[in-house]
Amino acid sequence: MNTVVTSREDILKASRALIQQKGWSAVSIRSVAVACGVSVGSIYNYFDSKTALLGATVESVWCEIFHRPEDEAVFQDTLACITWLYGQMEYGCIQYPGFFNLHSLGFMGEDRSDGKRRMQQTWQHILDGLCTVLHRDSKIRPDAFTQSFTAEKFADLLFSLMLSAFVRQDYDPTAVLEMVHRTLY
């Protein structure tokens, strides 16, 4: 085996490919080194443990699933954003079978704190994005939100519905879109 140093992104890409092909249990320092064609030590240059590798891989999967869309208009229209989010959820389920359920059940073993922290960061990013879209959407009627029913509370509700859809593996946004339309427009 050669000892050519690879990049962090190459390591994460190989980890994601292993997950897609063989599942989460296939990811180890050794298996990723083999997939990258490098020595085990090369992986340790970037990740000091399997837990660190898995945590970074989890984050990279979340980033791949919820990467910024090419069409920035998605972040100007609440209905388009919800449609995009549900489409990305379905993409994630297809590309990484069981990822959402495994992640939520704590596949990280004894050291769950890093994986949980990374998941919560991603979730907060999605929630913040929903709030931003709700504030930007010029089609929302001016009286849709009040002091007690804020855009932030509505975003939290939408996000809860997304999490429920993750668990059910139901990626049809039709009912959510209808609720949003009736509530805000």
43 within some domain: yes
Is 1 a domain residue? Answer: no
Q: Which domain holds residue 16?
A: 8-48
For residues 108 and 80, membership in a common domain is answered with yes
For residue 79, being part of any structural domain is answered with: yes
Does residue 106 lie within any of the structural domains?
yes
14 part of a folded domain: yes
Dihedral through CA 167, CA 160, CA 115, CA 85, nearest 10?
80
pTM over 0.85: no
Domain count for the chain: 2
Pair 13, 67 in one domain: no
Separation of alpha carbons 61 and 107, rounded Å: 14
* pLDDT above 70 (res 166): yes
Please give the pLDDT value at position 35: 95
The answer to whether residue 78 scores a pLDDT higher than 90 is yes
What does the pLDDT read at residue 55? 85
Question: Hey, what are 53's tokens?
Answer: 């590798």
pLDDT tens-digit map of 22-74? 888 889 999 999 999 999 999 999 999 998 998 899 889 988 988 877 778 88
